Amino acid sequence: MSANLFNTGINGNYSSSGKNAGNLSSIKIKYLEHKIDKLYMITEALWLILKEKNHLDDENLTELIAAIDLKDGRRDGKVAISGPRNCTKCGRVNSIRQMYCIYCGTFLNTETFK
């Protein structure tokens, strides 16, 4: 498998000011669409491998997706996002999106899919 499978290739260092902002937005949307397509293909490939090797079927996957969707009590097709959390070292509040405490630098992200 290629080491660059998840490499997106664009670093996002653009300025969005001036008359090119519309073009830049269009480029960014196309880039995000490309990333989504790539992730969709990777996900589908992984599912096909798992399905074949573990004798699963699409119903198994559908049930698991529904269970994940319902983690927040709502069947809305969206991933549940946890709220802010406290740093294990300094105790200060950080956004769930921070991998490291913004105050002391302690590694925060211990959950694989958060």
Tell me which residues touch Zn ion (CB under 5 A): 87, 89-90, 101, 103-104, 106
Nearer of residues 68 and 90 to Zn ion, judged by Cβ: 90
- Closest CB 93 distance from Zn ion, rounded Å: 10
* Angstrom distance (rounded) from CA 68 to CA 83: 17
* Angstrom distance (rounded) from CA 86 to CA 83: 10
E strand or H helix at 95: none
- Closest CB 60 distance from Zn ion, rounded Å: 40
Retrieve residue 114's tokens: 């958060």
Nearer of residues 16 and 98 to Zn ion, judged by Cβ: 98
- Closest CB 30 distance from Zn ion, rounded Å: 39
The alpha carbon dihedral of 22, 27, 31, 34 has a sign of positive
- Closest CB 3 distance from Zn ion, rounded Å: 33
* Angstrom distance (rounded) from CA 43 to CA 48: 9
Nearer of residues 79 and 102 to Zn ion, judged by Cβ: 102
Retrieve residue 43's tokens: 């996900």
Nearer of residues 20 and 88 to Zn ion, judged by Cβ: 88
